[in-house]
Amino acid sequence: MMCFIGTDVRLRYKPNLVRDGEGLLRKRKLNLGGTANLYIRPEQRMFVRLFGAFCLLKIIIDLKERIIMKKGFEKYIPFEPVKLPDRTWPDKVIEKAPIWCSVDLRDGNQALVNPMNLEEKLLFFQTLVDIGFKEIEVGFPSASETEYEILRALIDRNLIPDDVTIQVLVQARPHLITKTFEAISGAKNVIVHFYNSTSTLQRKVVFHTDMQGVIDIAVEGAKLIKELTQQEVAKTGANIRFEYSPESFSGTEMDNAVLICDKVLETLGATPEHKVILNLPNTVEGMMPNQHADQIEYFCRHLKGRDSAIISLHPHNDRGTATAATELGILAGADRVEGTLFGNGERTGNADIMNVAMNMYTQGIDPKLDFSEMNKIKEVYEQCTEMKVHERHPYAGELVFTAFSGSHQDAINKGVEYMKQHNSEYWEVPYLPIDPADLGRQYEPIIRINSQSGKGGAAFIMQQIFGYQMPKAMHPEFGKIVKAACDKAGREILPKEIFALFEEEYLNVHKPYNLKSYKIYEENDVENETVVHFEGNLRFEHMDHVISGVGNGPIDAFFNALKTVGITDYKFVSYSEHAVSEGANSKAISYIQLECPNGTTIFGVGLDSNISLASIKGIICAINRAQK
């Protein structure tokens, strides 16, 4: 009988009777791995006989009280870095994509609360193929009948493209290896991926063996895999390649990791023409990314069969730095990366291949994977895994291309305008490291508005979504209106709500002055100069007033007409206009800035199919707003 306490303490239960110094019989000595002894006291015998399980629990509690563990952070053993003073990876740059291998259907699937069923796995497999993966680990067919059936469905239904290699995982155990070869029969391109754990900790607390014992397991597994491969190739002509993983590589002494991998390469008969994949799992991320890179470079330097091996990374994300560990591992000499979409996997997950690939994309490197339909990929992922991609997930999250900050909004707005004006061939927009359109997200708002947004955010929304190009001087005025609405609502304001505010504040303002009818015409005076006449019906104070005026243009004529009914002291400051639609039904919008009698300035907006009338409406709007 064996019981574990915490992670490292073992109870070896020996059902013998012993006499103590006083000759009293004590029952069942428990030896604690040579570090402590615990005896069941005589008064505990009845509980053992009647309630064995409960008594054992009591013993465990007693034991825990007797073990003195260091407190807090002091109980953890720090990682011991590899000594590599002449490391070369810091001076390198990534220049091309590695070989990618998706392990979503194996590492990812085994970590799900509800593992994928057959149809979900087939859908996910097709999605991975569409993205461009050429190596896909599809499962652990010897582990369960479900995994076996899924692999057979892929093969029997002819769902594996000729340029895609499926990968199957198996422990280095003879009966599991044999079943794995039964599962892959008939497949054209297969990687048989076998592994056994080599870490110092697992050798000590799990397998109770030395390094030679671990090497023997790997070598015997390699021999059987080579033998079964020869039989399968002779029978079907399949293209079968080999992959070996010293599981928990990063927790293994580097010289031992090199030794066991060299033995496997030798056993499998690896050559530069027929390379074997050596996958180096960072199974539990226990060190900084730069320290992991040192391990990879050390391993590559000391491996005798380096020219006969493809060095593969398999990072996990326990410290939250799997992406960095992957990138630095590539610099350190890795040729290949295993990971998952969006970092799914055991505990904190595997390396996110999408993240690493898109990081390369933003550095001008073709990642050889296509994420141009990110929302569709995310939809399949969430459907099959029943997990949600976080709103802040790099490149894929709902909010990653959204700016709420006022200064950020202003910079993005200016960046977009700069690119339009200069017809730039490069992406140069502050705060956005990638063009959202490259991920199929061009129809999503980059700028969103809440109480933290600045004066330019609302203007950007009006321009990008609705085509209203407010003059820059108007941004603070409208931004203040939108900010007040955000404060009142206590939440984000949606684009349609921003437009409704604009309509209410500028387009639907008809009091106290309402221009009910109007006419504008031109004529030449005696000096053959054009003069403009304005005539209209202006309603205010519950009465209609006929007004008229003459000027050198429509705006001048209208201002003179207003003076006839006592509307004076408003001075014209600025004017801008543009079309808001195209074709026969196009309309013009005018933005008019006036100086009020008290010296402040205010904007009015006019919308009409006639540009002159749009300007006049803008003036009335500004005067009405000034008298609110």
Structural domains in the chain, CATH included, are 2-72 (no CATH), 95-367 (3.20.20.70), 406-507 (1.10.287.1400), 514-626 (3.30.160.270)
**What is the arithmetic mean of pLDDT over 123-140?**
97
Q: Secondary structure of the chain: what % helix, strand, coil (to 5)? A: 45, 20, 35
- 3-class secondary structure, 481: helix
pLDDT of residue 204: 81
C-alpha closest to that of 322 among 297, 294, 344: 344
CA distances from 191 to 139, 228, 280 (A): 12, 13, 16
Kindly state the helix (H) or strand (E) to which residue 289 belongs, with its residue range.
helix 289-302
CB-based contacts of 149, cutoff 8 Å, min separation 6: 118
**Structure confidence at residue 530 (pLDDT):** 84
Q: What is the pLDDT of residue 360?
A: 98
CA distance 488 to 482: 10
User: What are 391-395's contacts with CB under 8 Å, separation 24+?
Assistant: 393/342, 394/352, 394/355, 394/358, 395/354, 395/355, 395/358, 395/371, 395/434, 395/439
Q: Give me 154's structure tokens.
A: 């892929």
**Cross-strand bridge partners of residue 336:** 99, 312
In the chain, the amino acid numbered 143 is A
Q: What is the mean pLDDT of the chain?
A: 88
pLDDT of the residue at 201 = 83
Q: Is the pLDDT of residue 81 over 90?
A: yes
Q: Within 13 Å and on the Cβ side, how many CA atoms surround 147?
A: 23
Q: Does the pLDDT at position 29 exceed 80?
A: no
Mean pLDDT score, 202-221: 89
pLDDT band for position 206 (cuts 50, 70, 90) = confident
∠ CA 616-537-622, nearest 5°, is 35
* Crossing angle of the two packed helices 211-236 and 174-184, in degrees rounded to 10: 30
User: Residues 562-568: contacts with CB within 8 Å, 24+ apart?
Assistant: 562/538, 562/623, 565/538, 565/540, 567/513, 567/623
Summarize pLDDT for 255-268 with one digit per residue, the tens: 999 999 999 999 99
Does 403 or 358 have the greater pLDDT score? 358
CA gyration radius, the chain: 37
Q: Of residues 155 and 454, which shows the higher confidence score?
A: 155
What residues have CB less than 8 Å from 351, skipping those under 6 apart?
A: 313, 314, 315, 316, 317, 322, 323, 325, 326, 337, 338, 339, 340, 343
Catalogue the E-assigned strands of 222-372: 239-247, 276-282, 309-315, 336-339
Could you tell me where the DSSP H helices lie in 362-447? 374-385, 406-422
Which amino acid is residue 382, in one-letter code? E
Range list of β-strands (E), 306-365: 309-315, 336-339
Tell which residue, 237, 236, 310, has the closest CA to residue 272: 310
pLDDT the model gives residue 246? 96
pLDDT score, position 442: 65
For the stretch 386-428, pLDDT in tens is 999 999 999 999 889 887 777 887 888 889 889 989 998 999 9
User: Tokens for 509?
Assistant: 């303002």
Question: Does the predicted model carry a pTM greater than 0.95?
Answer: no
Task: Name the DSSP letter for residue 362.
Answer: T
> Minimal CA–CA distance to 23: which of 47, 42, 36?
42
* 256 in Cβ contact with 198 (< 8 Å): yes
User: HEC profile for 491-541?
Assistant: CCECHHHHHHHHHHHHHCCCCCCEEEEEEEEEEECCCCCEEEEEEEEEEEC
Least confident interval from 44-48, 375-379, 419-423, 622-626: 44-48
Query: 174-178, 503-507, 524-528: lowest mean pLDDT where?
Result: 524-528
- What does the block give as tokens for 424? 């730039």
CB 243 within 8 A of CB 194: yes
DSSP string, 163-202: T-EEEEEEES-HHHHHHHHHHHTT-SEEEEEEEEE--HHH
